[in-house]
């Protein structure tokens, strides 16, 4: 999450938050921020699960019939044929 931020940048952000909100409100803000992130991840996993359920692939048995049909078809003859001549 903080991949591009160094220690100095994080300390500056912490000082700014302390100045803006005060030491008493920082725990409340961080708790509500954590709850929001948790709820977002929960909803994201719910949506992901719903999408996976609705787009699941059919069972393998449904592919068996087309494969058997393809196997029973005559083999293609790869011998070159004589080209058609116009004259």
| 2 neighbors 10 (Cβ within 8 angstroms) | yes
- CA distances to 25, 31, 40, 69 from 18, rounded to whole Å, are 9, 15, 25, 72
Q: What per-residue confidence (pLDDT) applies to 9?
A: 92
- At a CB cut-off of 8 Å and minimum separation 6, what does 6 contact? none
- CA distances to 11, 19, 36, 38, 70 from 31, rounded to whole Å, are 19, 18, 9, 11, 61
pLDDT grade, residue 56 (50/70/90)? low
pLDDT at 84 over 80: no
Q: What per-residue confidence (pLDDT) applies to 57?
A: 66
């Amino acid at each position: 999450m903080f991949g591009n931020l160094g220690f100095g940048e994080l300390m500056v952000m912490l000082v700014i938050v302390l100045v803006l909100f005060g030491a008493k409100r920082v725990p409340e803000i961080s708790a509500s921020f954590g709850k929001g992130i948790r709820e977002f991840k929960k909803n994201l996993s719910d949506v992901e699960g719903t999408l996976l359920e609705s787009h699941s692939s059919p069972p393998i048995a449904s592919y068996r019939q087309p494969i058997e049909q393809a196997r029973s078809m005559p083999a293609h003859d790869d011998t070159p044929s004589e080209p058609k001549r116009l004259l």
